Amino acid sequence: MKSFLIDRYKKGGALRLGEMSEPKLRENDVMVEIHAAGVNPVDSKIRDGEFKLILRYRLPLILGSDLAGVVTRVGSKVTRFSPGDEVYAHPGQDRIGTFAEFIAIDQANVALKPKNLTMEEAASIPLVALTAWQVLVERANLQKGQKVLIHAGSGGVGTIAIQLAKHLGAYVATTTSTANVALVKSLGADVVVDYKNDDFEKVLQGYDVVLNSLGKDTLEKSLGVLKPGGKLISISGPPDPDFAKENGSGWLLQQVMRLLSSGIRRKSKRRGINYSFLFMTANGRQLGKITSLIEAGDIRPVMDRVFPFEKTNEALAYVETGRAKGKVVVTVK
Residue 9: the pLDDT is 96
Q: What is the CA radius of gyration of the chain?
A: 19
pLDDT averaged over the chain? 95
Is beta strand 29-39 parallel, antiparallel or unpaired with respect to 102-106? antiparallel
Q: Cβ neighbours of residue 232 under 8 Å, at least 6 residues apart? A: 210, 212, 219, 222, 223, 226, 264, 268, 273, 274, 275, 276
Residue 248 has pLDDT above 80, yes or no: no
Give the confidence band of 239 by pLDDT, cuts at 50, 70, 90. Answer: confident
Rounded-to-integer distance, Cα 221 and Cα 184, Å: 21
Q: Which residues pair with 67 in a beta bridge?
A: 89
Looking at residue 101, the DSSP 8-state letter turns out to be S
Rounded-to-integer distance, Cα 243 and Cα 241, Å: 5
For residue range 125-176, list pLDDT tens digits in order: 999 999 999 999 999 999 999 999 999 999 999 999 999 999 999 999 999 9
Look up the pTM and report it. Answer: 0.96
The stretches of 124-199 forming alpha helices (DSSP H) are 126-133, 156-167, 181-186
Residue 251: the pLDDT is 79
Q: Tell me how long the chain is.
A: 333
At 243, which helix (H) or strand (E)? helix 241-246
For residue range 23-49, list pLDDT tens digits in order: 999 999 999 999 999 999 999 999 999
Residue 4: the pLDDT is 98
Sheet holding 147-150, edge to edge: 191-194, 171-176, 147-150, 207-212, 226-234, 274-277
Residue 238 has pLDDT above 90, yes or no: no
CA angle, corner 208, sides to 149 and 157, nearest 5? Answer: 35
Give the 3-state secondary structure of residue 247: coil
For residue range 183-202, list pLDDT tens digits in order: 999 999 999 999 989 999 99
More confident residue, 247 or 305: 305
Phi, psi of 152 (to 5 degrees): 55, 55
Residue 276: the pLDDT is 96
Rounded-to-integer distance, Cα 113 and Cα 160, Å: 17
Residue 256: the pLDDT is 78
Residue 145: the pLDDT is 98
Rounded-to-integer distance, Cα 121 and Cα 329, Å: 8
